[in-house]
Chains A and B, each alone.
Chain A
Amino acid sequence: MPPTLLRDTALLFGRYARQTLRSPFQIFFGVLMPLLYLFFFGPLLTGLPLGREGDSWQVLVPGLLLQLGLFGASFAGFSIIMEKNWGVFDRMRVTPVSRLALLLGRVLRDAALFVFQAVLLVLVALPMGLRAPLAGILIGFGFVALLSVALASLSYALALKLPTPQSFGPAINTLAMPAMLLSGLMLPMTLAPGWLDALSHLMPFRYLVDAVREAYVGHYTTPALLYGVLVALGVAALAVTVGTRTFRSAGA
């Protein structure tokens, strides 16, 4: 990394992190939906055979962690739509600040925010009955960070491309709902009939969920975990590339 990119990224990360810290609503709201699932959906699963090793909490909590990242990060683009409307985005693009830093500063703030929310979720899940090895839980946070980086990058790129803010919300919902259902976030795809299981293998997030569930039962060297790491890194690299291109092209 050239020093200016590093410096500019730190500068913008600081700006956005301070803005987030001033807004407790933004910090805690994102964790609300997964918490509701934890309280009112989690207890339904405790006695059910879920077709996976581990108890129901070791299956559900990884899904909720990635749900948090999926919905939180994919809506991240709203903030850039607002910055565009205020003229702040153009004001920054007229300065010599690194274009890549304009993306990375935001994306790293998002990753930090969603990992923080993931920690809260796990802390609440412990008294509910979650038991998992510490290393597995830490690996889970790593996946939340990678997923946030990937989805937030794509979300910012999409928000810059769409002509109106009104089209952004519906577009994201249309993409996020099937992504959630097809990756088996709520219930593992091992319960699915053959065709649905096959279809879900086309959804990259499925590999991430499976990997975190492996980590939560202490399996760190299985193919599922390896695939999860590879897919997460691959998707994140692709997404940051797409995001960078969109930020670099001055027409954005």
Chain B
Amino acid sequence: MPIISTAGLARTFTTRNGPVEAVRGIDLTVRPGEILGLLGPNGAGKTTTLRMLTTLLPPTAGAATVAGHDLVRDPAAVRRRIGYVAQSGGLDPQETVRSELVAQGRLYGMNRARAAARAEELAADLGLTELLDRATPALSGGQRRRLDLAMGLTHRPELLLLDEPTTGLDPGSRADLWALVRRLRDEYGTTVVLTTHYLDEADALADRLVIVDKGTVVAEGSPAALKAAHGAATLQDAFLAITGRGPTPVDTTPVAV
């Protein structure tokens, strides 16, 4: 049974200038234990899709089952089974690493002692032990990201959704994060859905890619299959062929200086 299955999932925002169809209808199936990369140009609807799948934003049309529960009818059950890390994270600058980890455990229903123990476990797992009593604004970008991830993993979710998890990280921190995502899947069978703009990341990390453009799925398959289908040498070329957005349009008129 798929861990995510959506049919025509859509979200229209009402703005002063009329309705904006951020997501026009996404049909998506994710198998348990998969690492799925969600790609697409800026504004394609990736974040809106993730926000719907995490119950943060009610869909305006369509249906979805996430981690065995209906997204619209039983959002509370979905929340207990999924973890989510937003693009900009979610750390309170007034708190320390430890107090945030403990608070997160408590929000997931753990008692004080269990939450404190889980905070230590997560810190050890993600290399945050030395930083436990540091205030969150004093963390580096890579450390912040690891803490954001630890918060998303607090309750050992079977499904983890990550919105641009490696944006702004140095190459070493990115490699660490890739290793962590693979470890989660290999050791715990966690399903991971992540959005990214880095095609090398998608190529290296994801079992399967779903390319979204203008609010709908325009292509999907393994990185190798997508490259083969478009006769492309790199994923970059396949991506540009699929979304129809070349880096620069071929211009035949001479350059005027």
Q: Identify the A interface with B (CB < 8 A).
A: 4, 8, 11, 15, 19, 22, 83, 86-97, 249-251
Is B84 touching A11 in the complex (CB atoms < 8 A)? no
Q: Which of A4, A19, A250 has the most CB of B within 10 A?
A: A250
Q: How long is the Cα–Cα vector from A178 to B79 in the complex, in angstroms?
A: 43
Q: Are the CB atoms of A96 and B57 closer together than 8 Å? A: no
Tell me the interface secondary structure of chain B in the complex. Answer: loop
Given contacts A96-B76, A96-B108, contact A87 B88 (CB under 8 A): yes
* Further 8 A-B residue pairs, CB within 8 A, beyond A19-B94, A86-B91, A91-B90: A86-B90, A87-B86, A87-B91, A89-B90, A90-B86, A93-B56, A95-B79, A96-B76
Residues of B within 8 A of A (CB): 54-58, 75-76, 79-80, 82-84, 86, 88-95, 103-104, 106-109, 151
| Number of interchain pairs (Cβ within 8 Å) | 63
A-B residue pairs in contact (CB < 8 Å), sample of 8: A11-B103, A19-B94, A89-B90, A90-B90, A93-B56, A94-B55, A94-B56, A250-B58
In the bound complex, do residue A88 and residue B106 qualify as a contact, i.e. CB atoms below 8 Å apart?
no
CB distance A251 to B86 under 8 Å?
Answer: no
Is A88 a contact partner of B108 (Cβ separation < 8 A)?
Answer: no
Q: Given the complex of chains A and B, what is the CA–CA distance between A154 and B57 in angstroms?
A: 22
> Who on chain B is nearest to A250 by CB?
B58
Interchain CB contact (< 8 A) of A97 among B56, B94, B107 = B107
Q: How far is the CB of B95 from chain A (nearest CB, A)?
A: 8
* Nearest CB in chain B to that of A94: its residue: B84
Give the docked Cα–Cα distance between A97 and B104 (Å). 10
Minimum CB–CB distance for B61 against chain A, Å: 15
Contact partner, B79, options A11, A19, A83, A94, Cβ 8 Å = A94
Distance in angstroms between the alpha carbons of A251 and B48 in the assembled complex: 12
Is there contact, CB below 8 Å, between B108 and A95?
Answer: yes
Residues of A contacting B79 in the complex (Cβ-Cβ under 8 angstroms)? 94-96
Q: Is A87 within 8 A of B94, CB to CB? A: no
Instruction: Determine if B90 and A87 form an interchain contact, defined as CB atoms under 8 angstroms apart.
Output: yes
Report Cα–Cα, A106/B188, bound state, in Å. Answer: 36
Contact A15 B103 (CB under 8 A): yes
Residues of A within 8 A of B80 (CB): 96
Quick one: which of A4, A86, A94 contacts B92, CB cutoff 8 A?
Answer: A86
Residues of the A chain whose Cβ atoms lie less than 8 Å from the Cβ of B90: 86-92
| Shortest beta-carbon contacts, A-B, top 9 | A91-B90, A87-B90, A95-B107, A96-B79, A97-B107, A94-B84, A96-B80, A88-B92, A87-B88
A85 → B minimal CB distance (Å): 9
Contact of B109 among A19, A90, A96 (CB under 8 A): A96
A91 & B86 in contact (Cβ 8 Å cutoff): yes
Contacts of B106 in A (CB 8 A): 11
CB contacts (< 8 Å) of B107 on chain A: these are: 8, 11, 92, 95-97
* Contacting pair A250 B86 (CB below 8 A): no
* Bound Cα distance from A161 to B92, whole angstroms: 21
- Select the residue from A88, A89, A92, A249 with max chain B CB neighbours within 10 A: A88
Asked if B75 and A250 sit within 8 Å, CB to CB, the answer is yes
B107 and chain A: residue at smallest CB distance: A95
Contacts of B91 in A (CB 8 A): 86-88
